[in-house]
Structure 1
Amino acid sequence: MRMQHQRNLVEEYEINPFTMVIMPTTYGCKTYSKVYETDDTCLSPFKPIEIIRKSCQFFGSSYEGRKDGVRQLTGITHKVPIPVSPTNYIYFFPTTSPDNSECIWLAHEHIVDYKKGDKSETTVMFTNKEVMNIPISYNSFHNQISRTLLVQSKLGKRLEDTRTMYVNFGKKMRASENQLDYGNYGH
Structure 2
Amino acid sequence: MINNMYSSTYEVTPLTMAIVAAPENHTKPSAMVLEEEGTWIVENTPSKIMENACKFFGSSLKGRQEGTRSICGITHKAPISIAPSCGMYFFPTASPSSHKCSWIAHSHIEQVNRGPYRQTEIIFKNGKTILLDVSFGSILNQVQRTAQYRYMLDNRIKYAQRDHVDVVAEPYP
Aligned residues of 2:21 and 2:101 also touching (Cα < 8 A): yes
Matched, 1:107 2:105: yes
Unaligned 5+ runs, structure 1: 174-187
Matched, 1:144 2:147: no
TM-score when normalising by structure 1: 0.83
Partner of 1:6: 2
* Aligned-partner residue type, residue 116 of structure 2: D
* Aligned-partner residue type, residue 5 of structure 2: L
User: Aligned ranges for residues 64-79 of structure 1 at < 5 Å?
Assistant: 64-79=62-77
Larger radius of gyration: 1
Partner of 1:123: 121
Unaligned 5+ runs, structure 2: none
Larger mean Cα displacement after TM superposition, 88-97 or 113-122: 113-122
TM-score when normalising by structure 2: 0.90
Q: Deviations over 1:10-47 (max 9, x none)?
A: 42201101111111225852111111111111111111
* Aligned-partner residue type, residue 13 of structure 2: N
Partner of 1:44: 42
Aligned residues of 2:72 and 2:149 also touching (Cα < 8 A): yes
Q: Secondary structure at the match of 1:152?
A: helix
Q: Secondary structure at the match of 1:29?
A: coil
Aligned residues of 1:10 and 1:42 also touching (Cα < 8 A): no
Aligned residues: 166
User: Aligned ranges for residues 93-104 of structure 1 at < 5 Å?
Assistant: 93-104=91-102
Whole-angstrom distance in 2 between the partners of 1:41 and 1:115 = 22
Whole-angstrom distance in 2 between the partners of 1:28 and 1:152 = 34
* Runs ≥4 residues deviating over 6 A: none
Partner of 1:86: 84
Partner of 1:22: 19
